[in-house]
Amino acid sequence: MTATAPLVTYTLPKRRHPVFAFAVAQPLGAIAFVVIVVMIGAGVFAPQVAPYDPVALDFGAMLAPPSFEHWFGTDAFGRDIFSRVIHGARTALTIGFLSSFVGCTLGAALGVASAYFGGRIDLVTQGFVDVVLSFPLIVLALVVVAMLGKFVVAGVDLNLIVAIAIPILPKVERVIRAAALSVREMPYIDAARAAGYSNMRIIFRHMAPNVAAPYLIMLTAYIAQAILLEASLSFLGLGVTEPTPAWGLMLSGNASDFYREAPWMILFPGLAISFAVFAFNLFGDSLRDWFDPRFKV
Amino acid sequence: MKKLAFIGLAAALALPATVSAQAPKKGGTLVYAISAETPTYDCSATDTYAGLHFLAPFYSTLLKFDLANYPKVMGDLAESWTVSEDKKTYSFKLRRNVTWHDGSPFSSADIKATYDRLRNPPTGVVSTRRATFADIASIDTPDPATVVFKLSAVNPAMLEHFASPWNCVYSAAKLKDDPTFPTKQVMGTGAYKFVEHVKGSHVSGVKNDKYFLPDRPYLDGFKGVFILQPAAMLNALQGGQVMAEFRSVSPAERDRLVQGMGDKLRIEESSWTLNILIAFNTEKKPFDDVRVRRALSLAIDRWGGSVGLSRTSTLRQVGGLIRPGSPIATPEADLVKFPGFGKDIAANRAEARKLLAEAGVPNLKFELVNRTIAQPYTPAGIYVVDQWRQIGVEVQHKQLETSPYLAALNAGNYEVAIDFSNLFMDEPSLALAKYVSFDKAPENRSRAIDRELDSLYEKQNRSTSDAERVGFIRQFEARMLNQAYQVPLLWWHRIVPTNKVVMGWQMSPSHNLGQDLVNVWLNQ
C-alpha cells in the first residue's frame, strides 16, 4: 500500500487589468488621467468640438457674458472663449508634451551617460548642471526665448519648445543620474563590459531601460511645468503670438483691460491652466506611487 | 504761393484747450510716465516720441508749433522772421538773451551749425531729416542775431519743417569739438537743465533760471519715469505716483482711469497724426503683383473695423494718406472709390478673390511682421489676419520686439508688415514723403520704385497754387491706393490722461508736440 499525498491545488489570483488596478489603487490618479484624456481629445478634435472658429472676430458680440450661445462668453474682439479654450488645449498640450519630452529625454541621456562614465566626465557634467540649476525656471526660459526669438514650423514655435526644455533638462539629469548610479553597480553591467559590449550599447540597451520608471514619471510631471511655463511666457508676450488660441495669451493683452467688466475673459483660461497642471501633477504623483514598490507595502 | 493756411484750423478749433483762467503757480515737480526709453540723446538721429518726451524740455528749436492755434507756427529761438517774395529766402531774427546751460552765449552760429549738421551730417552722425532740408542751398549769419536760409527751390512746407520738434538746436562750439556730442551729452538752451538719466528708471531736469522767456518755466523741475507696462502706468497714475502720460491710453484704459480717479482726472481727446499702414514688400513675390496687393487691401473692412476697434484700441478713423478731419484730407465720398475703402465689403471680397485667382495665388500664405507693442499694433494684427482669412488667405502673425522689428523692416526681411506713419503735422510734403520711391525715401516699407509717384510728389511740393497743389495731392493718393504699395488701415485716436493738478499743458493731434513743458504748472 502506498500512501498518496493529498492533492493540493493552487489557484492563481486573478490578475486585474493594469488600468483597472491603477484606478483602484490610485483613484485620484485615475480621475486626473480622465481629465488628461478629455483634454487630449479636445485638443485633437478641437475643430469638431469647438462651436465657433477660435480666431473669427465678431464685433457684434464683443464682451458678451456666458450664455447658451457662448458658453464661456466672448472676448474684446467678440471671439468665442469656449472655442478658444478648446483650441488652446492643442497649443498647451503640443508645447507641453514636446518640451517635456525633449527636456526629459536629453536630461535622461545625459544623466545615464554621466553616471556610467563617472570620473571627469561626471564632474564636468554635474558642474554644468549645478550652474543651470542655479537659475529659476522662468528666468532661464525668459533668457533663452529672448535670445533665440521665434522659429515657427507648422504653427509650432520650436524655439519656445527649446526655451522650456532647457530648464527641465538639468532637473531630470540629476534624478536619472542618481538612479543610474545604482544600476551601474549591477552585475549584469559588469557582465556586459566583460562581454566587450560598446559603451553606447551598455548605456542604451542595459542601463536606460532600468531608469525608465523615473523617466516616465518626470515626463508626465514636467508636462504640467511646461504648460505653466508656456502660459507664463505667453502672458509675458514671449510665447505664442495672437491670434493663436493659447491659455496664457488669453490672460494677457485685452484681458487686463476688460477683466473687471468681463471677468470670464480670465476665469475660463485660468481654470483651464489650473485643471491641466493639477491633472498632470496628480497623474505624475500617482504614477510614481504605482511604480514604486515601497508604496505598495 | 499762398500758404495752405487753412490746414488744421477746424481740427485746432475742435481741440479741448487746457487753458486756465487761474494765475499760474510757481514751484513743484511734474512727474510723468514715458512708455518707452529713448534710443538716443540725439534728436537728429531719431523719430520716436520716446526721444522727445525725454529730450524736449532740455532743448529749444528755431520755431515751434503754436498749439493753441495749431498748425500755426511761432518763434522759439527766433523772435521774428520774414520770407522773401520768391519764397526762397527765410531770414530769422534771433533772441538776444539766450544762454546755453553751461553759461555760454547763444548766437546765429549755433543755428547754422545745427542745420548744417542736419542737412549734411558728418561721418558718424545720423540725420534722419537730411532729405527734409535738402532744399537748403546755403545758411548765412550776417550778425550774431540773424540767420538767413536760402533755398534752391520753393518748398511750401519749409516754415513748418523749421518748427519740427526734432530740430533741437545744438551749440556750435560743442559741435566743432565733437560732432557727435549730442549723442553723449544733454546740453541745450531749453527751460530745464539736465540732472540725470537712470536707465530703466527715469530722467530728471531742474528749472533753468536763465531761460530766455520771463517767468518761465513755472516748475522747479520734472521727472519722466519709464513705465513700459500699461497696467503699471495706470496704477501709477491712479495712485498719484505720476501725474500724466502724454502719449495716449486706450479707450478701456481711459474708462478704468475715469472710474478710479473720478474728478481728479482730466481726459483730453483728439484725432491723431498717426496711422497704421500695411506695407507689402514689392521685392518679394507675389507682392510685386499689384493684383495681390490690391486684393489684400480690398479684403479689409475698414468701416466695420473702425466701429469695433475703436471700442478696444486707439484705432478709430478711416482715412487716406492725409489725416481724416484735416481740411485737405480726401472727402469720404471720394475715399470710398479707392480699393479697400468701399462700404460694400461683400463685393470687395468677391473682387479680391477674383484678383488672387487671376494672379495665380488663390490660396495665398504669408507671414505678417508686427510689433509686440499692445496698442494698437496687436489689435491691428489680429484684425487684418481675420480679414484676410475671409478671402482664404492664411497668415502667420509674427510679433517682434521694437529693435528686431525695426531691423527686419530696415533690412527688408518681411513679406508684409504692419507699419506706421508718425507725423507731427498734416503738411502734405511731410505726410506723403513716406510713399515716394524707396531710393528717395528709405522709410518706404514697400521698397517700391514708382516714378509717377515721385513726379506727383515733386509737383505738389513745388506748386505755387493751393488748388493746383490739392489736385496733385489727390492724384498722388489715387495712384498710391490703386497701386496699394502701402495702404492705411485706420488712423489713431489720441486720449491723454492728466491729473487735474497739471495745468498749462496743451493737447494737440501729435504726441511729438508740446513737450518742452515751458508753460506747465502745478495747481497744488
**Per-residue pLDDT tens over the stretch A23-40:** 888 889 899 999 999 999
Q: Which of B231, B397, B404 sits opposite A243 (nearest CB)?
A: B397
Residue contact B400–A149, C-beta within 8 A: yes
Residue-wise pLDDT tens digits, B286-325: 999 999 999 999 999 999 999 999 988 999 999 999 999 8
Distance separating alpha carbons of residues B220 and B40, to the nearest angstrom? 25
Residue contact B382–A243, C-beta within 8 A: yes
Confidence class for position B11, pLDDT limits 50, 70, 90: very low
Sign of the dihedral through C-alpha A133, A139, A144, A150: positive
Domains of chain A by residue range: 22-52+72-296
**Residue A242 Cα, gap to closest chain B Cα (Å):** 6
**Chain B residues within an 8 Å CB radius of A233:** none
Q: Which of B252, B253, B382 sits opposite A77 (nearest CB)?
A: B382
Residue-wise pLDDT tens digits, A175-197: 999 999 988 888 988 898 898 89
**Chain A residues within an 8 Å CB radius of B230:** 256
pLDDT on residue B12? 40
Q: How far does CA B157 lie from the centroid of its chain?
A: 15
Residue contact A253–B250, C-beta within 8 A: no
- Give the mean pLDDT of B208-226: 96
A153/B contact by beta carbon, under 8 A: no
Residue contact A57–B386, C-beta within 8 A: yes
Residue of B nearest to A244 (CA): B397
A78/B contact by beta carbon, under 8 A: yes
Q: Which residues of B touch A (CB under 8 A)?
A: 230-231, 250, 252-253, 256, 304, 307-308, 311-312, 372, 374, 378-379, 381-383, 385-386, 389, 396-400, 404
Q: In chain A, which among 164-223 make CB contacts under 8 A with chain B? A: none
ipTM: 0.78
The b-or-e profile of A100-139 (16+ CB within 10 A means b, else e) is bbbbbebbbbbbbbbbbeeeeebeebbeebeeebebebee
State yes or no: pLDDT of B170 exceeds 70.
yes
B424: CB partners within 8 A, 6+ apart: B65, B164, B165, B273, B430, B510, B512, B513
> Are the C-beta atoms of B244 and B505 separated by less than 8 Å?
yes
> Are the C-beta atoms of B392 and B362 separated by less than 8 Å?
yes
B409: CB partners within 8 A, 6+ apart: B279, B369, B417, B419, B445
Distance separating alpha carbons of residues A125 and A214, to the nearest angstrom? 20
The b-or-e profile of B485-517 (16+ CB within 10 A means b, else e) is bbbbbbbbbbbbbbbebbbbbbbbbbbbbbbbb
Q: Which of B231, B308, B389 sits opposite A59 (nearest CB)?
A: B308
Whose cell is 522662468? That residue is: A138
Q: What is the CATH number of domain A22-52+72-296?
A: 1.10.3720.10
Residue contact A62–B312, C-beta within 8 A: yes
Provide the H-helix boundaries in B56-130.
108-119
A258/B contact by beta carbon, under 8 A: yes
> Are the C-beta atoms of B13 and B502 separated by less than 8 Å?
no
Residue contact B381–A62, C-beta within 8 A: no
Whose cell is 514598490? That residue is: A293
Which amino acid belongs to residue B279? A
Residue-wise pLDDT tens digits, B85-131: 988 999 999 999 999 999 999 999 999 999 999 999 998 888 888 87
State yes or no: pLDDT of B16 exceeds 50.
no
Residue-wise pLDDT tens digits, B397-430: 988 877 788 889 989 999 999 999 888 888 898 8
CA angle at residue A163 from A159 to A164, to 5 degrees?
120
CA angle at residue A81 from A76 to A85, to 5 degrees?
135
pTM of the model: 0.81
State yes or no: pLDDT of A68 exceeds 80.
yes
For each of the domains in chain B, give its residue range(s) and CATH number, in order of start: 9-209+501-522 (3.90.76.10), 271-493 (3.10.105.10)
